[in-house]
Amino acid sequence: MTGPATDTADVIIIGTGVIGTATSFELAKQGYKTVCVDRNSQIGHGSTAGSCAIIRMHYSTRDGTAFAFEGYHYWRDWADYLGLSSDHALARFIECGCLVMKTEANGYLEKHIGHSQTLSIPIEDWDADQIQTRLPIYNLASYAPARPRDDDAFGQPNGTRLKGGIFWPKAGYVTDPALSAQNLAAAAARHGARYRLRAEVIEILQKVGQSTG
């Protein structure tokens, strides 16, 4: 998948993380000639490799929420989306759900609840008793507000308890974020995408306000 020293392309993508490889995959499927350039020696070994790879739908904007929910379906049907042969090792999406506590600071998640309901994203409203039943290990003591480490009250509960949260059952995480980028790169390569590793971009050439190389 590594290209020659000199490449021409319709689109040059900087980075081979999950965003770069996904962009390459979608463009290559549409017939664009793409080259991904990355200073690292392996695909997906930049910030993507350090990601906690959470797949969530609780975003503060409607567009962000809709975008995330669309992405969930690709992660859920990862093998079908990629179209790779069965001998490829694939990253897996673990759909375990995600609980977010309702607090005054986050507006008791009213905005997030509204976006989820508008977009038909499943949610469950758990009160404190439900949380203790479903997750008995969970400590509902409140430690707000955030304090610096040298504050005498750092790490001490404030005497109140959290009253509940919203559970998004479709949320989860990807088992190996670096592998997910490598999966996307392999899928893109089937459509002609190429990659330049150990190559650092030092300048973007421009002419009359447009990138030329």
Q: Find the CATH number of the domain harbouring 31.
A: 3.50.50.60
pLDDT value at residue 6? 61
Please report whether residue 35 resides in a domain. Answer: yes
pLDDT value at residue 174? 98
Please report whether residue 7 resides in a domain. Answer: yes
Residue type for 16, please?
A: T
Range of the domain at 192: 1-52+176-213
pLDDT value at residue 8? 83
Q: List per-residue pLDDT tens for the chain, 213 residues long.
A: 555 556 589 999 999 999 999 999 999 999 999 999 999 999 999 999 999 999 999 999 999 999 999 999 999 999 999 999 888 999 999 999 999 999 999 999 999 999 999 999 999 999 999 999 999 999 999 999 999 999 999 999 999 999 999 999 999 999 999 999 999 999 999 999 999 999 999 999 899 988 887
Task: Give me the number of domains the chain comprises.
Answer: 1
Residue 40 corresponds to which tokens in the numbers above? 């690292």
Please report whether residue 87 resides in a domain. Answer: no
Q: What gap in Å lies between CA 59 and CA 100, rounded to an integer?
A: 11
Please report whether residue 109 resides in a domain. Answer: no
Among 93, 94, 85, 92, smallest CA distance to 186 is for 85
Contact indicator for 193, 4 with CB cutoff of 8 Å = no
